[in-house]
Structures are given as C-alpha cells and as structure tokens.
Chains A and B, each alone.
Chain A
Amino acid sequence: MINHLIVGPLLLPLFMGTMIILNTNQPIARRRILGLFSCLAVLVITILLLFQSADGPIQTYVLGDWPTPFGIVMVLDRLSAMMLCITALLSLLCLAYAARGTDRQGKNFHALFQFQLLGINGAFLTGDIFNLFVFFEIMLLSSYGLVLHGGGGLRTRAGMHYVMLNLVGSSIFLVGVGILYALLGTLNMADLAVRMAQAPAENAALLQAAGLILFAVFALKAALLPLCFWLPDAYGFTSAPVAALFAVMTKVGVYVILRVYCLIFSDFAGVGAGLLTAWLLPAALITLAAGAAGVAGSRDLRRITAYLVIMSVGSLLAVIGTFQREAIAAAIVYLPHTTFMTAAMFLVADLVGRQRPDAGTGLVPDRPVGQPTLLGLLFLTAAVAIGGLPPLSGFVAKVMMLTTVKDSAGAPWIWGLVLGGGLLTLMALGRAGSVIFWKLLPADDPGTGRETTPVPVYTPADLFPAVILLVISPLLVVFGGMITEFAFAAADHVINPVHYIEAVLGPDRSFPLLLSSGGE
C-alpha cells in the first residue's frame, strides 16, 4: 500500500509554482492566494505525515514502481517528517509576511518561493544521492533568485558570492557522488550503506575521500566555519521574509550530514565507519566560536541575526558530532526552536528597521522608533528565546543538549562554547535592544534638527507572522514532553541504519551491516 501523501510536499509546490508563472501578468492578489493556498495545503499534508510517522514505520514512495534500488525512491522517516513540517509552517508565515509588500518588488517572487519549497522538501524526502544533488540545485537556483529579490548593489554583490561558491560546491558534490558510484555501483542511499559495509579494504582510501568530499559540500550548505563567510552578507542584505525562510536552508545541510553520515558512513559501515567523528565536532565548535564573535562584533541587527544562524548550526552540529542517540535526540529538540526563533528575529529586525527610516537596523543611538513598546516587547521575547533564558524553549533545549553530551569526550568544549556563546549572544542582543529601544528620541522632538520622515504604523496583519513564530517558543515548552519522546523515537531511526535499509530495500537486506560490525 503506497501512501500518496508523501509526494504531496513535492507535487503541490511544483504545480502551484507553474500556475503562478501562468498568472505573472495578472493582479498580484491572485499570485498571493495561489502561493498561500499551496503553503497552507502543504502544511496540512505535512502535519498528517508527521502524525503518521510519529507512531508508524519508515514509509517509502517508489516513483513509477521501479523496484528499489534501481528506481528512484522517496523515504519518509520521523526526522524528515519533522523537517517537512518545520519548513511548511515557516514558509506559510514568511509568505504571509512577504504578502504585506515585499513581494511587490519583483514579479516572480511567488513562483520562486514555491520552487524553493520544492527543492527543500525534495532534499528532505529523497532516498537517492543523485536526486539529492538535483533537489539541491532546484533549491539553490530558486534561492539565487530570492536572494537577489528587490535588487540593489549590496544584494547583487552578496548574491554573486553566494552563486559562485555554490557552483563550485555543486561541482565538488558531483565528484563525490561519482567516486561513490564508481566504487559501489549504486546511488540509492540504503543500497550504498549495504555495499559500503561489504566494500573491500583496498577501496577504503577512495571511499573515505568521497565521504569527506561530500562533507565539504554539506558543510558549505550548512555554513561550517571555513565555508561560512558567504552567509552574513547573503542573509544580512536580502529581504526579510527570504532571510527568515533561509533559516531552514542551513538546516538542510545539517539534516543531510545527519542522514548521510549516520546511514552510509555509520558505525556498521566497514571501511567507512566513523568517518566524521574526528572532523565534525571540532569544525562545529570553531564555527560556534566564530559565530559568537560575529554576533558580538556586528553593528547591525540583521547581521547579528545572520551570525546567530551560524551559531545555531555550530551548536547543532557540535551536539550531533558526538554521534550518540541521546545527543541526536537533543539536537532534534533544539532544531525547530532555533529555526523558528532566528526566523522570528529576522522578521522583528525588519519591522524595527522599517520604522527607523534614517538608521534602519543599524545600532545607531538617538533615532526614533514608531512603536517602541510593541516592537520592544517582540524583540525582548525573541532575544530571551534565542539567548536561552527560562521560561522559553531555548533554555529547555539547551539544557537537554548539555546534559546529553556530558559523558562524551568533547563535553568540556561543548559546554564552554555553548554557554559562552549564549552569554555573548545575550550581551550583544541586550546592547542592541538598549541602543535601539532605550536611547531613542521622540519622533517629533524639535531638538534633533532632523527632518522627520513618516514611518509605517503596524497593524495586526503586519505583525502576526512574527508574533506566531514567537508564540511557537512557549508552545515548544508546553508540549516539551511529547516533542522529547518524538525526538528520541526519531533519533532511534536515525542512529541505527538497519531500520532505514530494511524499510527501503526489504527485510534481511541489512544483514551485511551486522556481519561487518560482528567481524571487527
């Protein structure tokens, strides 16, 4: 029995994106309705899928009914169902925010947005490593358009760096995939895992090289330290709803690292076993430190938020880098929190920036803000959640991450850097908040000697996407027990490749894995 809902998150954005292109020269309301309808429908489908997978087995969708491993297969396990759900909710809110005016700056915003969702959802669902490349490219090509949306010299420059780096990344990805195919003769990820376990020792060096080449590509997507310098410019200069949506794009890199290195290069993988244990944790910790330095050193709220994205990737991958079931569960709890809160911060920063016409989001004192109390409260909530203070979700998730890694060898480093980074974040956000909201002159102060420009006054319709994103944070705490149980169940499926392989290839096909680990 095939569950056709699984391809819904792919087909619906594809179809709606095409419909939106056909309506390019119609009034913008029609494109908005089509786009919002698509996001809403995908959200409903992904919530259904999430509940199905929460207490069900790993489901597969075999395109064209070609037998695996020869045909293309989509795989839905708990982790990918959760990622789909996060993406759908975030995209709906970002699109609702964009529909308040950002989408007027270019005709194809809504179409690109749908294709972006197609790429992201595809990367979460695919069970085939070449298809992963194809969905990455769909995701990237739409993101190139979205980064440049609205135009301007700064966006063009940042966008050019982003495009060139990712083109190099795509080439390298193909080299890694080529080596894997040449040596193992398959592209299906479950089949790759089985054949990796059986690979002869003389191919060990090449297979490990392929694994590390792929890691470089995924690290570029996730923005790990030597490969993260594109992110502050690209996220800092692009329009706010796009930056908020991109908060989930770096998580695609995190998801793929978790998927590939717990499946193909798992502990059972023979010559490829434990490939990343020496690399991931140090790289993630350095990224975390660099992100914290960037947060502390930035003079602009948008840039601070962009560095917060780097910090969140660093903390996630540092915890994942221990490759233990409990730690991965904690990372799965932290992931929705950090995605939604950085996205909320991008939106709040944009709301603040639009009410400060001559300073924008820059940390310049003595500038009027149109609605300081309202925006100040939103900013405070976002800052408390991101900084990891009780009672919001950041605190709970961070405590869980720190307690689960306390027995691993890298624990002192993880504790020190996560807590130190949190302190720097709080100081930077506290400084930003006090400069923007406390050192302000009233808008009509005659002593400033400046022309007062009229600023937009926000109605609930402008604010609700950011408010809903912030409301998610206490909800993550209230339903914390359920989420934690789900995270442990998801981590069970992620850390043990046997479940995935048997779901895709059929029972007993994971036998070589057990054999190779028994033989060591």
Chain B
Amino acid sequence: MEWLVSACFGVMIACGVYLVLRARTFPVILGLTLMGYAVNLFLFLTGRLHTNLPDIISGSQTQYADPLPQALVLTAIVIGFAMIAFLVVLSLRALGELDTDHVDGHKEKPPS
C-alpha cells in the first residue's frame, strides 16, 4: 500500500508541476489545484497508514489513528479552496483587462 500511495502522490505532483508550467491561466489553475490535492493527501499521510483504528483514545484500544493530521488537512483544504477561488476570479479579470489568458500577458499570434 505504501508504494501505491506514494506513487499517487508523485504522479499528482508531477502532473501539477507540468500544468503549472503551461503558462496559460486555466492549466495553471488546474495544476495548482492538483498540487493542492497532492499536498493535502501528503499531510493526511503524516499520521501514517492504518486501517480500522479509532481516532480517539479509549481504554479498550491500545492503538489509535493520529487525529491531528486530519485537523491540519481540514485547515489546509479550506485555505487552499479560498486561494484557488481567488485565483479563478483574478484570472477572469486578467482575461478582461489584458485580453489574453497568457500569464505574462502576451497576445495571441494571429493565425498565418
């Protein structure tokens, strides 16, 4: 399972980086979203991989899943969501003001 999870993380980060380097606002937003997902997954995994463990301490259980990463992930998801929402609005405004979706504001070459 470790291999599968780490491969998921790696592929998501790789796709995210590729998309961020596309230099068009829409792929960049998708890439940042993917990277955000991957990082959230990573934070979740910092509590280690377990199955069927409770996340509260009780007298009958000797082992429990770490609840703190779940709280951290929740915070990170909320913040990441707000940031992406802001970036979407900013990209739409940039499209209106600069008349192009290129991140550096380059104009489209006319088709020859």
Interface residues of A (CB under 8 A from B): 130, 133-134, 137, 141, 144, 148, 151-153, 156-157, 159-161, 163-164, 167-168, 170-171, 174-175, 177-179, 181-182, 187
A153-B97, A153-B98, A174-B42 as given contacts; A164 in contact with B20, CB under 8 Å: yes
Contacts of A130 in B (CB 8 A): 72, 75
Contacts of A177 in B (CB 8 A): 43, 72
Main SS at interface, chain B: helix
Contacts of B32 in A (CB 8 A): 164, 167-168, 171
A152 to B43, CA, bound (A): 38
**Partner among B35, B46, B75 whose Cβ is within 8 Å of the Cβ of A168:** B35
Q: How many A-B residue pairs have CB under 8 A?
A: 85
Interface residues of B (CB under 8 A from A): 20, 25, 28, 32, 35-36, 38-40, 42-43, 45-48, 68-69, 72, 75-76, 79-80, 82-84, 86-87, 90-91, 93-94, 97-98, 103-105
A141 to B83, CA, bound (A): 7
Contacts of A178 in B (CB 8 A): 39, 42-43, 45-46, 69
Contacts of A133 in B (CB 8 A): 76
A148 to B97, CA, bound (A): 12
Tell me whether B103 and A161 are in contact (CB under 8 A): yes
Tell me whether B76 and A174 are in contact (CB under 8 A): yes
Contacts of A187 in B (CB 8 A): 68
Given A137-B79, A156-B97, 11 more A-B residue pairs with CB atoms under 8 Å apart are A148-B90, A151-B97, A156-B90, A159-B90, A163-B86, A167-B83, A167-B87, A168-B35, A171-B35, A171-B38, A178-B45
Interface centre among A130, A156, A164, A167 (most CB of B within 10 A): A167
A177 to B32, CA, bound (A): 19
Name the CB-closest residue of A to B86.
A144
24 contacts between A and B (CB under 8 A): A141-B82, A141-B86, A156-B90, A157-B94, A157-B98, A157-B104, A160-B90, A160-B91, A163-B90, A164-B32, A167-B36, A167-B83, A168-B20, A168-B32, A168-B35, A171-B80, A175-B42, A178-B39, A178-B43, A178-B45, A179-B46, A181-B72, A182-B46, A182-B47
A485 to B68, CA, bound (A): 42
Min C-beta distance of A186 to chain B, whole Å: 9
A501 to B46, CA, bound (A): 25
Min C-beta distance of A123 to chain B, whole Å: 15
Those 6 A-B pairs whose CB atoms lie nearest each other, nearest first? A182-B46, A178-B46, A171-B39, A157-B105, A174-B39, A178-B43
Tell me whether A137 and B83 are in contact (CB under 8 A): yes
